[in-house]
Amino acid sequence: MTNLYFETSAVNYLLDNIFSHPQHSSIKTKELQISNQRKWFISAITLWEIFLTQNEHRRFELFDFSRCLFYDYLIPSPEEIIINFIKSGCPKIEKRYNLKSTSLFSSEWTKACRDLSYAFQPDREQLKERTKYIRIIADSLQATTPTLLSKSLHDLNNTDTKLTNAFLKHIFLEISKRYGDKLNDDLVKFITVTLKVTLILLCYGIGLDQPTIESFWNSIGKLKPLERLEYTLRNFPNIFYRGPITNISKMILIQATKFGRGFYFDSLHSSYITYSDLYITNDQHFINFKNTHEKDPNMFKLIDVKTMNFYNK
């Protein structure tokens, strides 16, 4: 099977520019892709962004179009991918596995794909409140130097007295040891952002799929977020050097000069670049990501949807 991932901007492009033409049928295209052993994936992030669409007609149009075109199973959430990466031992080359989410929106999505009379949407107000909270926390990622870590992370839990510059400096220095005398300003920023993403997403569970994170930590023991960070450093330190969290961090740094409202969602999408055979986008940030990291072989997977030929296939 060939796995193609379409992030949200590509979904919008397909609806407006390709499948608006009468010669194209989303349902027939889906049948053709499956028969050719190709899975066109979207994720819970894509659905989350669709559900945030303010215009009700557009929101349902995107949802209905997506379930007619894309695979009946969602690709695993970034949290599921991170946990699987950890359980696999944070390898340099991760073994290929069946990409099938069992978390956020997954069962509802499969049902909606197979029964077009069924539609679902989370509570809009709860979704907006959760998104607002995530974005407030994600704003702290703009602090890309260790000296700015303490205050921004302190906002996550202002009753946690262990959250001090000394503690964070210790963690930062332990991560930095791997780089030795290669440490420079760019690496300092990368280590800092990777540390913060690990804290926010893996230790605090501030993302779209917190149950997956909490289930993982519950299997280990009752640890507070900062204790989780120390445990991570001791038991799976390679999470700071390679894998999905580092991809998320690199995407954040690409956008560091101008953060938009969707920068954190873009960064979460970037975790799928490694796990897809082709990654389809209509977002210039991802094209910049590809150009900036052109030596990374995974970047060859990243395709601008506008360059794809849908008419002669």
DSSP state of 20: T
Question: How far, in Å, CA of 103 to CA of 109, rounded?
Answer: 11
Residues facing 5 on adjacent strands: 41, 279
Tell me the CA distances in angstroms from 196 to 62, 131, 235, 252, one per residue in order: 33, 18, 18, 11
Q: Over the stretch 271-285, which tens digit does the pLDDT of each residue have?
A: 999 999 999 999 888
DSSP state of 202: I
Question: How far, in Å, CA of 77 to CA of 204, rounded?
Answer: 16
Q: Over the stretch 188-236, which tens digit does the pLDDT of each residue have?
A: 889 988 998 998 899 999 899 999 999 999 999 999 888 999 999 999 9
Q: Which residues of 149-171 are buried (b: 16+ CB within 10 A; e: fewer)?
A: bbebbbebeeeeeebeeebbeeb
Average the pLDDT over 78-101 and give the result: 94
State the chain's mean pLDDT as an integer.
87
Check residue 220 and give its pLDDT.
95
Other CB atoms within 10 A of residue 214 CB: 12
Percentage with pLDDT > 90 across the chain:
55
**Domain coordinates in residue numbering, the chain:** 2-126+271-307, 131-254
Which helix (H) or strand (E) is 11 found in, with range? helix 8-13
- pTM for this prediction: 0.89
Is the pLDDT at 36 greater than 60? The verdict is yes
Is the pLDDT at 146 greater than 70? The verdict is no
